[in-house]
Amino acid sequence: MKVAILGLGQVGRSLLQILSDYSSTDRFRDIRIALAADFQHMIFNEAGMDPRRLLYYKQKGDIWGTGYREIDRNGLFREDFDVLVDLMPATKDGVRARDLYLDAFRNHRDVVAACKSGLANFWDEVMKAAKTSSRKILYEATVAGGVPLFNFIKHCNRTADISYIRGQVNSAANFILLSIASGKSFEASIEEAKKFGILEADYHFDTLGIDSAWKTVIIANSVIDAKIKPSDVRYDGVEDLSGIHGNLDEYRLLSSVNMVSGKVEASSSLVKVNPDDPILSLKGRGLGFTIGLRDRSPMTLLESSDGPVETAGAVLNDLLELSDSFPSTR
C-alpha cells in the first residue's frame, strides 16, 4: 500500500522513526512511503522512500536533500499512491483539511487523519463524501493520541450500549493546568510542554480549549452519531484559571459526551474529579477515558504518558488496518 505523508513534524518524524526502527522486520512491510511533504517541499518516489533517509534529511532541515523527485503540490493527486495521511497542523475553520479529504475521495484515495479540525467542523460532509465515493477515512489519532478509543469500541465493544464517554483526551491543556498547579507560570508551563511535542503549532488551540472541544465533537459524532458541531459544545480553557477555587491539581479538563433521555450533552470542561475516579491518577501527559455502558460496569482505559510517538503508533495502526484491503507490496 503506497502512502502519502503530509506533515513531518512531531508526529510525522515519530512515524518515520518507528518505520526506520522496524525496517529490518516484517511488521510494516506492506506500508510504502511514496510521497512526503512538509511546509517547504513535496517529494515523490515511485519505488518508495527509505524512512531513515527521509528522517535524516528532515532532521537536517531540508527533505529536498533526499534526492527524491520534487513535485508540484497542485499535482498531488496525479501521483501514484493509495492513502493520504494528514499530519499537518489544524486550522481554526477546518476548511483546508475538509477540502483535502474531499479531493482525496474524488481521486479514489483513502485517508488517515491525526488532524482534528476538518473532521470536527465538517463531520457530516466528510463522512458522506467518503461513503458516496466508497472510500475510507480512519482517525484514531485525532482523539487521545495513542490511546485507542474508536478501535476499542469498534473491535472490542461492538455489542455494548454506550451511555457516556468521559476522558482526558488532550494532554497539552492538562499538562499546563497541572504545571500551573505546581506553582509554575503559564509561560514557563508552555515552554515545558513544548519539550514533549504535545502542543499544537498554535498552542492557543490547546490552552483556549478548542482542541479538546474538537475532540469532543469527534467522539460524539463517531460513537453515538450525535451530528453535532463545535458550536454545540460548551468548553473551557486553561488560560484563565481565576474562577477555580481549591486545589488546582484536583481538576482536569475533561471531555464528556452523555446520552440523556435520548439527547446528547457534550462538553469539554474543567471539573473537580472525585478522588476515587481513576482519571485523577493521570498526570499532565497522561490520556485516557471511561466508557459508561448500560447494564454493565464502566470501563476505563488509561495511558500514563502519551505524545507524538504514541500518536504515530495510532496512525500506523490505522494504516495497517487499511493495508489489509490492498494487495501486498512485498
Ligand X SMILES: NC(=O)c1ccc[n+]([C@@H]2O[C@H](COP(=O)([O-])OP(=O)(O)OC[C@H]3O[C@@H](n4cnc5c(N)ncnc54)[C@H](OP(=O)(O)O)[C@@H]3O)[C@@H](O)[C@H]2O)c1
Return the residues of window 52-111 that contact ligand X according to CB under 6 A: 87-90
Cβ neighbours, 10 Å, residue 120: 27
- Whichever of 88 and 129 has its CB closer to ligand X, that residue is 88
Instruction: Give the residue closest to ligand X by C-beta.
Output: 9
Of 120-128, 193-201, 240-248, 275-283, the window that binds ligand X (rule: CB under 6 A) is 193-201
Of 156-164, 224-232, 242-250, 304-312, the window that binds ligand X (rule: CB under 6 A) is 304-312
Taking CB under 6 A as the criterion, the residue among 33, 55, 84, 114 binding ligand X is 114
Taking CB under 6 A as the criterion, the residue among 79, 197, 272, 277 binding ligand X is 197
Q: What is the closest distance, in whole angstroms, from the C-beta atom of residue 8 to ligand X in the complex?
A: 4
Q: What is the closest distance, in whole angstroms, from the C-beta atom of residue 274 to ligand X in the complex?
A: 27
Taking CB under 6 A as the criterion, the residue among 1, 5, 10, 236 binding ligand X is 10
Taking CB under 6 A as the criterion, the residue among 11, 35, 257, 287 binding ligand X is 11
Of 1-9, 186-194, 223-231, 289-297, the window that binds ligand X (rule: CB under 6 A) is 1-9
Residues 6+ apart with CB under 8 A from 112: 3, 83, 84, 85, 86, 137, 138, 139, 141, 315, 318, 319, 322
Q: Are the C-beta atoms of 318 and 112 separated by less than 8 Å?
A: yes
**Using CA atoms, how far apart are residues 257 and 264, in angstroms rounded to an integer?**
7
Taking CB under 6 A as the criterion, the residue among 1, 4, 35, 38 binding ligand X is 38
Taking CB under 6 A as the criterion, the residue among 1, 4, 5, 7 binding ligand X is 7
**Using CA atoms, how far apart are residues 143 and 145, in angstroms rounded to an integer?**
6
Q: Is 198 in the site for ligand X (CB under 6 A)?
A: yes
Taking CB under 6 A as the criterion, the residue among 21, 23, 29, 39 binding ligand X is 39
Q: What is the closest distance, in whole angstroms, from the C-beta atom of residue 96 to ligand X in the complex?
A: 8
Q: Is 35 helix (H, G, I), strand (E, B) or coil?
A: strand
Could you tell me the three cell numbers for 198?
504535545
Q: Is 201 in the site for ligand X (CB under 6 A)?
A: yes
Give backbone dihedrals phi and psi of 163, rounded to 5 degrees, phi first.
Answer: -105, -30
Q: What is the closest distance, in whole angstroms, from the C-beta atom of residue 6 to ligand X in the complex?
A: 5
- For the chain, first and last CA: distance in Å? 10
Give the dihedral sign, CA 231/233/234/236: negative
Q: Is 245 helix (H, G, I), strand (E, B) or coil?
A: coil
Strands (E), the chain: 2-6, 32-37, 42-44, 69-70, 83-86, 110-113, 137-138, 162-168, 234-235, 251-260, 263-272, 287-293, 299-303
Residues found near ligand X in the complex (CB under 6 A)? 6-12, 37-40, 87-90, 114-116, 141, 145, 197-198, 200-201, 307-308, 311
